[in-house]
Amino acid sequence: MPTSSELLTVAKRAAAVMAVVAVAGCAATPEGVDIHDPYEASNREAHAFNKKIDRGALRPAGNVYGALVPDPIDQGVQNFADNLGEPQNVLNYTLQGNLPDAVEHSLRFLVNTTAGVFGLFDVASAIGFAEDDTDFGETLHVWGVQEGAYLEVAFLGPTNERDLAGTFVDMFTDPVSFVVRYPEKGYVTAAKVGGVLDQRYEFGETVDSILYDSADSYAQLRLLSVQNRRFELGQAATTATAAGEEDLYDDSYFE
Amino acid sequence: MMTPILNNLSRRTVLGGLGASLAVLATPVLALTDAQARSLVNGLVNDVNRVIASGKSEGAMIRDFKGIFGRYGNVPFIAQSALGPKSRELSNSERSAYVDAFADYMSRKYGKRFREFIGGRIEVQGARPAGRFFEVDTVAFLRGENPFALTFVVAERGGERRFVNMYIEGVNVLASERVEIGALLDRNGGQVSGLINDLKRLG
């Protein structure tokens, strides 16, 4: 988890990118091109840096966390951190004009904070209020902003111009951060750090296979994250008839 | 929200990556109704579960997974599509060596993670035509994970229907393998013999 000076660096980078985005006016993705990556050279530098951070800090810390913290506890920490994200989900769903999901996530927050003992247990999912996180990047998408260029950002990982702007906004508009004061703020941060370490541990093999076993981990991560994000936003081309994928299904590959 | 390094990938996708060992359904049926799509997917899942339950060594299981991959998936197609246009330049002997090395590589890459499938199930939502293919929409339920969407692409050739691709929460597995195989080929200066040697070692 980044220290405050690292956070500052991220914020500075984000601000720099925001400036670029503002100038470029969130460059539209060219029609028919699967991935728009004009900043590949600098993205690859950030990717190499992120791999170093993962190898040197995140992965070992995740392994220690995974080994030391028993399953029920790390699940509780994860739930607690997730629950603290609910007010922001509600805010974003509201901004998207998606009232059913705004209501559902309000109920999730109420149920999990009370019956779920301050969010330690995800009772809401068990009774049918599905967890479907959103963010300001999705809000921008709903407002008609295109994803723009693909970006990999130091510490943040894969994103794009629109979603990075969204991340930046989310950092400063989390309703929880306006309510929670010190020292409770420390617990919130700790839970979020725990959540990140838990995820790194839980998906260790998959993350390792992408970052360390791929012949070109940058290209592999780019492909996965772009497609998955589009799928989350309901704009994925998940069929064999999708534009730009014709060559994958060329008849010459049949014997 | 801070999303260090890989956490932008949702857990469903990440986990789903291993679903590719399931990217292998085939059947000699002639019309892909919902019921047939269901039995197709169930056949695959049952075969995979039988191997997992056999308690064999990991090496033996991976050999069994390769058999399942060949039974349900159109392996020559998947292998050649992953290689891309270059596959049209191969001699017959190069092609069969490459396809076999690719099948081994895929079986190892996904088969060694079989533990994540234990107790899992896949529910078929329905089948529909998609251009020259059929697509089978399913939802995968793996232990301790949120359900995730799997779409199988099925092609008919010579009266048999086999999988040629799958999408895991929107992620195109064949496209992912093309990136991988393309990078390996580049690493070998475009030489397929070098690529084959790498595939024997990797996965």
Provide the mean pLDDT of chain B.
81
Cβ–Cβ pairs < 8 A, chains A and B: 170
Contact check, Cβ <8 Å, A227/B170 = yes
B13 to A224: CB separation less than 8 angstroms, yes or no: yes
Residue-wise pLDDT for A172-231, tens only, equals 998 888 888 777 788 888 888 888 888 888 878 788 888 888 899 999 999 999 988 998
User: pTM value?
Assistant: 0.80
pLDDT tens by residue, A36-68: 999 999 999 999 999 999 999 999 999 889 888
Nearest chain B CA: its distance from A114 CA (Å): 23
CB A141 within 8 A of CB A127: no
User: What's the distance, Cα to Cα, between the start and end of chain A in Å?
Assistant: 50
Identify all chain A residues contacting B176, using CB atoms and an 8 Å cutoff. 220, 223-224
Angle at which helices A71-84 and A184-202 pack, to 10 degrees?
120
Inter-chain touch B175–A170, beta carbons under 8 Å: no
Judge residue A239's burial from the number of C-beta atoms within 10 Å of its C-beta, 0-12 exposed, 13-18 middle, 19 or more buried.
middle
Give B47-110 as a DSSP string: HHHHHHHTT--HHHHHHHHHHHHHHHB-HHHHHHHHHGGGGGG--HHHHHHHHHHHHHHHHHHH
CA-based radius of gyration for chain A: 19
Weakest-pLDDT range from A18-22, A53-57, B40-44: A18-22
For residue A53, which residues of chain B lie inside 8 Å, CB to CB? 4-5
Per-residue model confidence (pLDDT) at position B35? 74
Looking at the partner chain, which of B133, B169, B176 has a beta carbon nearest the beta carbon of A231?
B169
Answer with the residue of higher pLDDT: A228 or A89. Answer: A89
Residues 6+ apart with CB under 8 A from A25: none
Q: For A170, which of B1, B85, B165 is closest by C-beta distance?
A: B1
Q: pLDDT higher for A63 or B2? A: A63
Instruction: Kindly give, in sequence order, each residue whose CB lies less than 8 Å from that of residue A134, ignoring residues fewer than 6 positions away.
Output: A89, A92, A93, A96, A101
Place of tokens 């603290």: A84
Measure the CA–CA gap between A211 and A224, rounded to whole angstroms: 12
- pLDDT above 90 covers a percentage of chain A that reads 51
pLDDT reported for residue B142: 85
Q: CA A148, CA A51: separation in Å to the nearest integer?
A: 24
Nearest chain B Cα distance for residue A214, angstroms: 6
Residues 143-202 of B with CB under 8 A from A: 146, 149, 151, 153, 155, 157, 164-165, 167, 169-172, 174-176, 178-180, 182-184, 186-187, 202
Region B4-24+55-201: CATH code: 3.10.450.710
Dig out the tokens for A166 from the structure.
């969204």
Q: Do A206 and B87 touch (CB under 8 A)?
A: no
Tell me what pLDDT residue B203 has.
Answer: 75
Whether A79 contacts A112, CB under 8 Å = yes
CA triple B188-A213-A162, angle to 5 deg: 105
Flag whether the ipTM exceeds 0.85: no
pLDDT at A251 over 90: no
At A101, the pLDDT band (50, 70, 90 cuts) reads very high
Q: Which residue bears the tokens 């596959």? A: B87
Place of tokens 């190499």: A48
Does B98 score more than 70 pLDDT?
yes
To the nearest whole Å, the CA of B47 is away from the closest chain A CA by 23
Half-sphere exposure of A133 (CA within 13 A, CB side): 19
The residue in chain B having the minimum alpha-carbon distance to the alpha carbon of residue A72 is B144
Distance from CA of A24 to the nearest CA of B (A): 24
Position A124 confidence tier, pLDDT thresholds 50, 70, 90? very high
Does B6 have pLDDT greater than 50?
no
Closest partner residue to A245 (CB to CB) among B1, B17, B172 is: B172
Amino acid identity at A208: D
Determine, for residues A219 and B183 on separate chains, whether the beta-carbon distance falls below 8 Å.
Answer: yes
Q: Which of A54, A167, A199 sits opposite B1 (nearest CB)?
A: A167
Residues of B in contact with A224 (CB under 8 A): 9, 13, 17, 171, 176
CB contact under 8 A, A207 and B13: no
Does the CB of B11 have a partner CB in chain A at under 8 Å?
A: yes
Please say if the pLDDT value at position B38 is more than 80: no
Q: Is B84 left (phi over 0), alpha (psi -120 to 50) or beta?
A: left
* Confidence bin at B128 (pLDDT 50/70/90): confident
Give A160's strand partners.
A150
Shortest distance between the Cα of B48 and any Cα of chain A, in A, equals 20
Return the pLDDT at A238. Answer: 54
Q: Say whether pLDDT at A141 is over 90.
A: yes
CA dist list (Å): B129 to A241, B126, B156, B197: 10, 10, 11, 38
Domain ranges of chain B: 4-24+55-201
Query: How far from chain centre, in Å, is Cα A210?
Result: 16
C-alpha angle with apex A250: A249 to A253, nearest 5 degrees?
95
Burial of B57 (0-12, 13-18, 19+ CB in 10 A): exposed
Q: Which amino acid is at B14?
A: V
Out of A88, A171, A240, whose CB is closest to B153? A240
Average pLDDT of B25-45? 66
Residues A30, A135: Cα–Cα separation, whole Å: 25
Under the banding of pLDDT at 50, 70 and 90, the label for residue A21 is very low
Q: Once rounded to an integer, what is the mean pLDDT over residues B95-102?
A: 96
